[in-house]
Amino acid sequence: NAGVTQTPKFQVLKTGQSMTLQCAQDMNHEYMSWYRQDPGMGLRLIHYSVGAGITDQGEVPNGYNVSRSTTEDFPLRLLSAAPSQTSVYFCASRKAVSTEAFFGQGTRLTVV
C-alpha cells in the first residue's frame, strides 16, 4: 500500500521562485492537511481540506495556495518563495474526524 506520497523529498529554491509540493493518497480519505515543521514550533497547520472542492486556511496560510480537485491529490503551491519558508513540509490524510492521520515522509525545502 502506498499510503500518502509526497514529492519531492528535497528541494532548494531561490528567493522569488514558485513551486508545487505534491501530495497524493490512495486510501480514499476525505480529510487532507499540510503542515510545516520548524525547530521548537511543532507542526503548524498551513491549509486543510474536508473533501474535494473544499479547502480552508490553517494558522500559517500566507504565501501558500492549495486546491483539491480530486479526493486523491492535495498540492501545495508556494507563490514566491522566501527564506522564511525554509522548513520541512508534511502532508497528512485521514478518513474521518476521529480517526488517525497518515503522514507522508516529508519534503525538506530550503529557500536561499
Partner 1 sequence: GDSVTQMEGPVTLSEEAFLTINCTYTATGYPSLFWYVQYPGEGLQLLLKATKADDKGSNKGFEATYRKETTSFHLEKGSVQVSDSAVYFCALSARGTSYGKLTFGQGTILTVHP
Q: How many residues does this entry show for the chain?
A: 112
Q: Kindly state the smallest distance separating residue 108's Cβ from partner 1, in Å.
A: 10
- Candidate list 19, 52, 82, 101; residue touching partner 1; CB under 8 A: 101
* Residue 108 CB-half CA count within 13 A: 2
Q: Tell me how far the alpha carbon of residue 50 is from its chain's centroid.
A: 14
Q: With binding defined as CB under 8 A, does residue 52 bind partner 1? A: no
Q: With binding defined as CB under 8 A, does residue 100 bind partner 1? A: yes
- Strand-pairing partners, residue 33, are 48, 92
Q: Is the CB of 14 or the CB of 42 nearer to partner 1?
A: 42
Q: Mask: binding to partner 1, 57-86, rule CB under 8 A, as x and -?
A: -xx---------------------------
- Candidate list 13, 24, 29, 33; residue touching partner 1; CB under 8 A: 33
| Sign of the CA dihedral with 53 first, then 59, 65, and 70 last | negative
**58-75 core/surface letters (b: 16 or more CB in 10 A; e: else):** bebbeebebebeebbebb
Q: With binding defined as CB under 8 A, does residue 43 bind partner 1? A: yes
Residues within the interface to partner 1 (CB under 8 A): 31, 33, 35, 40-45, 48, 50, 56, 58-59, 90, 92, 94, 97-98, 100-101, 103-106
